[in-house]
Amino acid sequence: MSKALKITEIFYSLQGESATVGFPTVFIRLTGCPLRCSYCDTAYAFSGGIKQSLSTIIDKVDKYKARYVTVTGGEPLAQTECNELMVLLVNKGYQVSLETSGAIDISKVDQRVVKIMDLKTPSSDEMDKNLYQNIDFLSIKDQVKFVIANSVDYEWSKTIIKKYGLSARCQILFSPVMGKMNPTELAEKIIQDNLPVRFQIQLHKYLWDDTPGK
């Protein structure tokens, strides 16, 4: 039997976040996630989905003739065949990024894949799921994202950056929770504290008032 993954959707849009924000990107959204973050905006990917072979997934990606591919979820690493899919994609010349919660071991992810890893803030209600050992497997091309809903999240994130020396290890993203953290307020805090982070908003929500592909 050919290897397969349960897929919620495959779609083509602009990257709304991360260091490649704005680039046309194919998104492969895998089904399932062991976390239930309070601010999650992709709960529709928790269940359902359709099993598709790796070759079928690759064929669908190829049709878009894109340069960038993002593997996301849900939590994509919850499905063991995810790593093999990403290897196939990078072998074909795609620039591949992985969006992961940081709650599952990333040590086996191909080093050519850009890892975009959340560290769950206090407001997520899932902070105890952070697997801090994952930090050891990050490189300068990888990114750690802090999703910030309030000042407690902000101060906690600053502490974690310092504790783990993140600014010397990888890129750091600060993202406000839409409707909870005022983006301007967060931007001003970053400037005032002179933090070594990239401020980001979810571009797709400002363009389409929704999560792309939903």
Q: What is the pLDDT of residue 202?
A: 81
Does any domain span residue 213?
A: no
Does any domain span residue 194?
A: yes
Does any domain span residue 197?
A: yes
Does any domain span residue 79?
A: yes
Q: What is the pLDDT of residue 214?
A: 41
Q: What is the pLDDT of residue 162?
A: 97
Question: Residue 47: which domain range?
Answer: 4-208
- Any idea which residue has 């976040």 for tokens? 17
Does any domain span residue 10?
A: yes
Length of the chain: 214
Q: What is the pLDDT of residue 211?
A: 47
Using omega within 30 degrees of 0 as the cis cutoff, is the peptide bond preceding 49 cis?
A: no
CATH number at residue 185: 3.20.20.70
Q: How many domains does the chain have?
A: 1
Does any domain span residue 53?
A: yes
Q: How many CB atoms lie within 10 A of CB 140?
A: 9
32 neighbors 7 (Cβ within 8 angstroms): no
Does any domain span residue 117?
A: yes
Per-residue pLDDT of the chain (214 residues; tens, 9 = 90+): 479 999 999 999 999 899 999 999 999 999 999 999 999 989 999 999 999 999 999 999 999 999 999 999 999 999 999 999 999 999 999 999 999 999 999 999 999 999 999 999 999 999 999 999 999 999 999 999 999 999 999 999 999 999 999 999 999 999 999 889 999 999 999 999 999 999 998 887 777 776 444 4
Does any domain span residue 214?
A: no
Q: What is the pLDDT of residue 210?
A: 60
